[in-house]
Structure 1
Amino acid sequence: MTDHVTTHQAEEDARNEKILIWLNGRCVPKAEAVVSVYDSGFMLGDGVWEGLRLYDGHWAFMDDHLDRLFEAAKAIDLDIGMDRDAVRNALLETQNANGMTTDAHARLMVTRGTKVRPFQHPSLSRSGPTVTIIMEHSKPSIPRPIRLATVPHIRGLPMSQDPKLNSHSKLNCILACIAAEKAGADEGLMLDVNGFVNTTKACNFFIVRKGAVWTSTGDYCMNGITRQKVIDLCYANDIPVFERNYSLVDTYGADEAFLTGTFGAQTPVGEVDGRVIGSGQMGPVTERLRGLYKDLVAREAA
Structure 2
Amino acid sequence: MVHGTHNAVADDRNKDIKIYINGDYFRREDAKISVFDSGYLVGDGIWEALRLHKGVLVFLDDHLDRLWTSAATVGMTFPFSKEELTAIAWEVLNENKMTDHVHVRIMITRGIKKTPSQDPRLTISGPNIVIIPEYKKASEDSKEKGITLFTSTIRRGSPDYLDPRLNCHSKLHEVQALIQAIEAGADEALMLDVNGFVSTCNATNFFIIKNGEVWTSTGQYCMNGITRAKVIEACSRNGIICHQKDFSLFDVYGADEAFVTGTFGGLTPVIKIDGREIGTKSYGDRTKNLSYLYNELINEAVTNG
Q: For the residues of structure 1 that align with 2:61 and 2:236, how far apart are their CA atoms?
A: 21
Partner of 1:63: 61
| 1:167-221 alpha-carbon deviations (Å, 9 max, x no partner) | 0000000001100000000000000000001100000000000000000000001
Question: How far 1:231 sits from its partner (Å)?
Answer: 0.4
Partner of 1:253: 254
Question: How far 1:20 sits from its partner (Å)?
Answer: 0.5
Q: For the residues of structure 1 that align with 2:146 and 2:227, how far apart are their CA atoms?
A: 18
Question: How far 1:80 sits from its partner (Å)?
Answer: 2.2
AA aligned opposite 1:29: R
Partner of 2:124: 126
Structure 1 runs (4+) greater than 4 angstroms displaced: none
AA aligned opposite 2:218: T
Partner of 2:7: 9
| 1:58-92 alpha-carbon deviations (Å, 9 max, x no partner) | 11100100000011001101112211011101110
Any unmatched runs of 5+ in structure 2?
Answer: none
Partner of 1:167: 168
Q: Are the aligned partners of 1:271 and 1:280 in contact in 2 as well (CA < 8 Å)? A: no
How do 1:34-45 residues align onto structure 2 when only pairs under 5 Å count? 34-45=32-43
* CA-based RMSD: 1.0
Q: Are the aligned partners of 1:4 and 1:185 in contact in 2 as well (CA < 8 Å)? A: no
Partner of 1:22: 20
Q: Are the aligned partners of 1:204 and 1:261 in contact in 2 as well (CA < 8 Å)? A: yes
Q: For the residues of structure 2 that align with 1:125 and 1:257, how far apart are their CA atoms?
A: 45
Q: For the residues of structure 1 that align with 2:107 and 2:208, how far apart are their CA atoms?
A: 31
AA aligned opposite 1:87: L
AA aligned opposite 1:191: L
Is 1:187 the counterpart of 2:185 in the alignment?
A: no
AA aligned opposite 1:243: Q
Partner of 1:72: 70
Q: For the residues of structure 1 that align with 2:70 and 2:114, how far apart are their CA atoms?
A: 24
Q: What's the secondary structure of 1:214's corresponding residue?
A: strand
Q: For the residues of structure 1 that align with 2:89 and 2:289, how far apart are their CA atoms?
A: 31
Question: How far 1:4 sits from its partner (Å)?
Answer: 4.8
Partner of 2:135: 137
Partner of 1:264: 265
Question: How far 1:151 sits from its partner (Å)?
Answer: 0.5
TM-score of the pair, normalised by structure 1: 0.97
Q: What's the secondary structure of 1:87's corresponding residue?
A: helix
Single out whichever of 204-213 and 277-286 deviates more from structure 2: 277-286
Q: What's the secondary structure of 1:194's corresponding residue?
A: coil
| 1:244-275 alpha-carbon deviations (Å, 9 max, x no partner) | 00010100000000001000010000000011
Distance change >3 Å, CA 280–CA 181, structure 1 → 2: farther
Q: For the residues of structure 2 that align with 1:208 and 1:194, how far apart are their CA atoms?
A: 22
Single out whichever of 272-281 and 59-68 deviates more from structure 2: 272-281
Q: For the residues of structure 1 that align with 2:125 and 2:271, how far apart are their CA atoms?
A: 48
How do 1:268-283 residues align onto structure 2 when only pairs under 5 Å count? 268-283=269-284
AA aligned opposite 2:201: T
